Structure 1
Amino acid sequence: MQVGNVTTPFGRRSVTLAQIKGQMRTAEIKAGKKADKWKVFHDACDARAVLGIQDRALAVLDALLTFYPDNELCEERGLVVFPSNDQLSVRAHGIAGTTLRRHLAALVDAGLIQRKDSANGKRYARKDETGGIEEAFGFSLAP
C-alpha cells in the first residue's frame, strides 16, 4: 500500500491519473538534486513540438521561472512559486487572463509544472516564526 499526499485541483478542474503520478514522482526527488532553471527552460523550448505546447505557454513558463529567486531549482529552497495572475500576466508580456489560464493548464498537462492548490484556491505562502516559508501554495517547478 502506498501512502502519500496528493493535492486535488480547486474548483471544477478534474484530476487525472497522470497528475497524481507526477505528484508522486515529484515527492520522490532525491535530496540534493539540482537543476539550472534556464537550462530547463531552454530544453522545454527545444522540445516544444514534442510536448505539444505553444510559444505563449513558454512565455508563461518563463514568467513563472522569474518568480523563483535562485538560478538553481533545489528542493531544499522549496520549488513552489505563488504569483498572482496580474503579476504573472505582467511578466508574461501582458497576455490576457483567459489566455494565461489556458497556457497554465497546457503547462500542467505537459507535465512541466504542477498545481499545488490551497483549500480556497488562492496562491500564497504560510510562514513560520522566523519568516521562513513553512508551506506554499501555487505552482511547483519541480524538475
Structure 2
Amino acid sequence: METGIATTPFGRRPMSLAMLAAQNESREIPKGRVVDKWQVYRNLCEGKSIIAIGDRALAVLNALLSFYPDSELSEENGIIVFPSNAQLSLRAHGMPDSTLRRNLAELVDCGLVIRRDSPNGKRYARKGRGGEIEEAFGFSLAPLLARAQEFEAAAERVRADNRALRLMRERITLHRRDIQKLVEAAVEEDVPGDWGGLWRRFRAVVETIPRRARTAELEPIVADLAALRDD
C-alpha cells in the first residue's frame, strides 16, 4: 500500500532530493504492472556495476524480498515489507546490526527501496477487521517495480559487454597461438625472414596485455596481433 504523500525518515535520518525523486518515480508505476521479484533481483545482481550497488547491500535486499509473500511484485498485492532488524539479520546470514543498517541505508540512497517510517520509527502493519492490511510501515519495494525495465537493460548491457570481452580474449588467444606456431615452423624449416625481430615485436605486444581489462583496452592489442600475424 502506498500513499501520495512524501514520507520522510524517522528521527535524525536526513531527507534527500534523491529519496524524494525515488518516491516520485514510484508513483508513476503503470497500472497493472507485475514483475517477478527474483528476476528483478537477478537483473540487479548482473547489472550491479551500472546501478552502483554493492554485494552486501544486495544480500540485504535478498533478505527483504524474502519477506514479500508473493513471487510477483505488484501494487495490488501491496509492496511494503516490515521485518525487524533482528529478523532481517537472520535472513542475511547473521549480518551484524551495524552492517545491516549501513547496507539498508545504501539501498535507500540508491533508490532501490523507500523507507516508510511509522510515527515511532517501528515497522509494522495495521490490519482491518477482516484481517487485511490497511496500512504498513517499513520498506517499500515500489522502486523495484518502477525501475524493473531499467534493471533489465543494465543486466543486458553487462551481458553484452562480457560477450564482447570474451570474444576479444578468444581472438587474442588464437592470434598468439597462430603467431607462435608460424614463427616456430618458419625457424625450423629455415624460411628466409627476420623471425627474431618478429618474435620480439610479438612478445612486446603480449607483455602489454593486462590481466584484467575492458574490451576497449583489448581492441588495439587484437589489431596489433592481427597485423603481426599477417606479416
Determine if the TM-score, normalized by the shorter chain, exceeds 0.5.
yes
**What range describes the TM-score normalised by the shorter chain of this pair?**
over 0.9
In the alignment, the residues of structure 2 paired with residue 137 and residue 36 of structure 1 have an alpha-carbon distance, to the nearest angstrom, of 23
What is the aligned length?
140
Counterpart in the other structure of 2:57: 57
Counterpart in the other structure of 1:137: 137
Which structure has the bigger radius of gyration?
Answer: 2
Q: Which residues of structure 1 form unaligned runs of 5+? A: none
Counterpart in the other structure of 2:123: 123
Counterpart in the other structure of 2:102: 102
Counterpart in the other structure of 1:19: 19
Q: Which amino acid counterpart does residue 101 of structure 2 have in structure 1?
A: R
Shift of 1:28: 2.3
Compute the TM-score of the two structures, normalised by the length of structure 1.
0.94
More strand by share: 1
What are the superposed Cα offsets for residues 67-98 of structure 1, whole Å, 9 maximum, x if unpaired?
00000001011000000000100000100000
Q: Secondary structure at the match of 1:8?
A: coil
Instruction: Please list, as runs of the form range in 1=range in 2, the aligned pairs for 1:30-69 lying within 5 A after superposition.
Output: 30-69=30-69
Q: Secondary structure at the match of 2:112?
A: coil
Q: Which amino acid counterpart does residue 140 of structure 1 have in structure 2?
A: S
Q: Larger deviation: 17-26 or 69-78?
A: 17-26
Question: Which fold has the larger relative contact order, with Cα–Cα distance below 8 Å and residues 6 or more apart in sequence?
Answer: 1
% identity of equivalent residues? 60
Counterpart in the other structure of 2:88: 88
- Is 1:10 the equivalent of 2:25? no
Q: Secondary structure at the match of 2:138?
A: strand
Q: Secondary structure at the match of 2:126?
A: strand
Q: Larger deviation: 123-132 or 43-52?
A: 43-52
Q: Secondary structure at the match of 1:119?
A: coil
Counterpart in the other structure of 2:76: 76
Shift of 1:48: 1.3
More helix by share: 2
